[in-house]
Structure 1
Amino acid sequence: MKKDALLVEANPHKNWLKKYTEIRNHSVEICSPLEIEDYVVQPIVDVSPPKWHLGHTTWFFETFILQPNFPGYEVFDPQYNFVFNSYYETIGARVIRTDRGNLSRPSVSEVFKYREYVDRKMNEFLQNGYLTESLEPLLELGLNHEQQHQELLLTDIKYILGHNPLFPAYKKEHIAKKENTEAPEILRFSEGIYEIGFNGEGFCFDNELGRHKVYLNDFTISSQLVTNKEYLEFVEAGGYEDFRHWHAEGWDWVKQNSARSPLYWHFIDGKWMNYTLNGLHEIDLEESLCHINFFEASAFASWKGKRLPTEAEWEAASEHFEWGKRWEWTNSAYLPYPGFKKEAGAVGEYNGKFMVNQMVLRGASAATPPGHSRNTYRNFFQTHLQWQFTGIRLAQ
């Protein structure tokens, strides 16, 4: 993927309505293969029901765009602020995350009516000149927020279906894979001063701002991601039984969860099987490894006598390898860049409040929607989480 995939011109004549409609429709398309029962399941706290994602992204536009800026706007349902607020303390009380799966009401049909109502009002808002230049960044943020949830939607749907005892396929038709079968190349970079962080025109999240210089020692990084075959060698060599390669917290996680393989891997009748969006199949050894947490990524790197790259190394090298198939774990804690400042109000809660106890991932994944990736994007997750489309690129 190219680093400028998401960059957009500051153009007063930009067709916001077209972009809004396309992005909003894509969320519905993602859910189109689901049965009605699939919309309400929450197997674990980290997975939200698809119905909730559809409502929450709609709530964002209603709460931040329409209510304060569209004269005479009437909210669809006053209770929805409580139901679909995610983590914005500024906005008020909300359903706690663990209870999202208990929301049998509003029904799926009511959530779709909510989307239709807000979309209709947003169409009126955008077509009748209410969008001012000062509001454009907020609308852009809302659209990128929806794209983030599109990735989470696909990720959560896979977890829901992948933990159904029948292993149903999300889509029965074959989803083509474009794996690079070339031998990995070791890319070498000399010590020196590099610049990282967003630069240029267009959209980025606030955690990417503050382009700055970093000093890097000599390092190498692989041109390719780790494959299932390579990781299977680690599994079969007893990697999950050898504490020497694990962080202390990672080893605790292995023992507490009796971990023996990546998420969605199952040893059945003498074969390693992998749950995919097409259902349960024998592991494709050439496919890039997916659904491993930071602990697993670090342990594998240690077993190979290597390490994970820092996020600065990853960004400095990213012009020289293909990326975008997996979110790639780095060995960098999620911290603010120099000069980082949180915005006032609820928007200021978007990224800054999470800058603790999380690690940075770089790149994008097969679940990332089109036009939502760049090489300065800073994703972040807690060290034990496997459910996102995560992989490994080795460095040294």
Structure 2
Amino acid sequence: MRFSHLPKSEDPPMQTVPQSVEKSHSSAPDRPTSVDFTRVRALSTDLARSLSDADATAQSMPDASPAKWHLAHTSWFFEQFIILPTLGETAQFDPAFRFLFNSYYDTVGERHARDKRGLLTRPSLETILAYRQHIDAHMRHLLQTPGAIDTSLLSLGLSHEQQHQELLLTDILHLFAQNPLMPSFAKPAASMDPLPPGLVATWASFEGGIVTIGHDAPDFCFDCELPPHDVIVRPFLLANRCVTNGEWRAFIEDGAYQNPALWLSDGFAHAQRAGWAAPQYWRMRDTEWWTMTLHGPQPVRDEFPVAHVSYYEADAFARWAGARLPTEQEWEHAAGRVPVRGNFLNLDWLAPKAQSPGRDCRPAGMFGDVWEWTASPFTPYPGFQAAKGAVGEYNGKFMSGQMVLRGGSCVTPPDHIRPTYRNFFAPAKRWQFSGLRLAKDL
């Protein structure tokens, strides 16, 4: 077998994950307070603090949005769904913002074209920051008024802003990668060297049976995580860590990007058309691979989880390795037995880290580092019901042509993730911190 870093399925070194461990959930508060609101809002502003007006205005591709737009749209959300229905039109900052910073809410009205967001040289970044202060002042007033705010809408607004914090960073990385100067967003932490040696992957074994999938706790979740429901899961093996850069290097060197037998038809056609030969941001310098990071260009570290690969690439790699991608049901069943801890958003790091599984038979890195592609399409759970009104457009309208990712990444806020969280992207997208973990039938 070409993929020597993982054990062969005929004789897998298996570790059985303890079945008695209780399912753990996110530490996000059930009823957010003014302290939670201030903390989340301040982080968005802090992320943009080092950006110039030009940095915050440019748009590198239609899928990405300018940082200035992220800062404005997250404020628009609170204004549109909480402030204006409660305080009326007199609380509005600028009537034009209703059109400029609507994302995809057709129920609200028309909106500025997504692929032209980078043409909004006005309003300035200074004006957008003033807009945020205006929204924060009104929200603080409402938070101090008992019963003035629907807490479910407040929770949704804060979780929505945390999603955009991650998007802001991934979009800035893509933008800076287009600049020949390859600027850094943040200085690398002094602790980035040295690193532990890469760990040979093994397999954790999971029993099959009827398991409950979906959010079943009183704290906040998105509507697409509901309702909890029973599914049948067959016994399976799950790798104890994510696929690494070193393993991906072997995939490249074996000519896998040019081998149609490994690929889904649409994926191979897309890879050939786009000229894919390595993960996004990888570039060869002399005889060494380098990659663009939020700390500027860095050598590719073999022990880090591979990032910025599409579902098509992940699926092809799994087939090349004699394995497969886990279903989201398998992933959630496994993740519900490990603590929600990992390498999340930390301005001193902002990159995946080498994963070192412990001795308790649990897979490492299930949360943080890289979003993990699954083999599951983003479709509604049995009994799913979208909320009434515009907020019902949040997830349900995208349940077509998307694949599910799980677990969060190194730029996900740490209190934003939970075992039931369902991220989703189209299968060709790879500018996110997306990687993979292998699975096999037992």
Tell me the TM-score normalised to structure 1 length.
0.95
Alignment partner of 1:165 out of 170, 180, 187:
180
Give the Å deviation of 1:122.
Answer: 1.1
| Residue of structure 1 equivalent to 2:115 | 98
Secondary structure (helix, strand or coil) at the match of 1:274 reads strand
Which runs of structure 2 are paired with 1:138-217 in the superposition (5 Å)?
138-174=153-189, 176=191, 181-217=198-234
Give the Å deviation of 1:7.
Answer: 4.1
The root-mean-square deviation of aligned C-alpha atoms, in Å, is: 1.6
Structure 1: which amino acid aligns with 2:415? G
State whether residues 42 and 101 of structure 1, in contact with CA within 8 Å, keep that contact through their aligned partners in structure 2: yes
Q: Does 1:295 align with 2:295?
A: no
Secondary structure (helix, strand or coil) at the match of 2:439 reads coil
Q: Does 1:128 align with 2:149?
A: no
Once the two structures are superposed, residues 99-121 of structure 1 have per-residue CA deviations (whole angstroms, 9 ceiling, x without a partner) of: 10111111111111111111111
Once the two structures are superposed, residues 282-308 of structure 1 have per-residue CA deviations (whole angstroms, 9 ceiling, x without a partner) of: 111111110100000001001001100
| Residue of structure 2 equivalent to 1:36 | 53
State whether residues 179 and 288 of structure 1, in contact with CA within 8 Å, keep that contact through their aligned partners in structure 2: no
Q: Does 1:269 align with 2:289?
A: no
Q: Distance in 2 between matches of 1:385 and 1:176?
A: 31
Alignment partner of 2:253 out of 236, 259, 267:
236
Unaligned runs of 5+ in 1: none
Give the Å deviation of 1:70.
Answer: 2.2
TM-aligned CA distance change 1:95 to 1:9, over 3 Å? closer
| Residue of structure 2 equivalent to 1:281 | 298
Alignment partner of 1:245 out of 262, 270, 274:
262
Q: Which moved more, 1:271-280 or 1:378-387?
A: 271-280
State whether residues 363 and 373 of structure 1, in contact with CA within 8 Å, keep that contact through their aligned partners in structure 2: yes
Q: Does 1:5 align with 2:26?
A: yes
Alignment partner of 2:363 out of 317, 321, 337:
321
Once the two structures are superposed, residues 137-165 of structure 1 have per-residue CA deviations (whole angstroms, 9 ceiling, x without a partner) of: 00110010000100101111111111211
Q: Distance in 1 between matches of 2:178 and 2:316?
A: 25
Give the Å deviation of 1:93.
Answer: 0.5
| Residue of structure 1 equivalent to 2:129 | 112
Secondary structure (helix, strand or coil) at the match of 1:34 reads coil
Give the Å deviation of 1:5.
Answer: 2.2
Structure 2: which amino acid aligns with 1:314? W
TM-aligned CA distance change 1:283 to 1:196, over 3 Å? same
Secondary structure (helix, strand or coil) at the match of 2:29 reads coil
Alignment partner of 1:385 out of 429, 433, 441:
429
Q: Does 1:373 align with 2:417?
A: yes
Once the two structures are superposed, residues 54-95 of structure 1 have per-residue CA deviations (whole angstroms, 9 ceiling, x without a partner) of: 000000011110000125742110000000000000000000
Give the Å deviation of 1:321.
Answer: 2.3
Give the Å deviation of 1:194.
Answer: 1.3
| Residue of structure 2 equivalent to 1:219 | 236
Once the two structures are superposed, residues 332-383 of structure 1 have per-residue CA deviations (whole angstroms, 9 ceiling, x without a partner) of: 0100001000111101000000000000001110010120000100000000
State the identity %: 43
| Residue of structure 2 equivalent to 1:70 | 87
State whether residues 70 and 130 of structure 1, in contact with CA within 8 Å, keep that contact through their aligned partners in structure 2: no
The structure carrying a bigger helix percent of its residues is: 1
Give the Å deviation of 1:179.
Answer: 7.3
Secondary structure (helix, strand or coil) at the match of 2:218 reads coil
Secondary structure (helix, strand or coil) at the match of 1:89 reads coil
Q: Which moved more, 1:21-30 or 1:315-324?
A: 315-324
Q: Which moved more, 1:201-210 or 1:188-197?
A: 188-197
Structure 2: which amino acid aligns with 1:161? F
Give the Å deviation of 1:3.
Answer: 4.0
Tell me the TM-score normalised to structure 2 length.
0.85
TM-aligned CA distance change 1:9 to 1:53, over 3 Å? closer
| Residue of structure 2 equivalent to 1:23 | 40
Give the Å deviation of 1:254.
Answer: 1.2
Once the two structures are superposed, residues 260-313 of structure 1 have per-residue CA deviations (whole angstroms, 9 ceiling, x without a partner) of: 000010012221111111111211111111010000000100100110000001
Unaligned runs of 5+ in 2: 1-22, 338-361
State whether residues 198 and 302 of structure 2, in contact with CA within 8 Å, keep that contact through their aligned partners in structure 1: no
Q: Distance in 1 between matches of 2:299 and 2:331?
A: 32
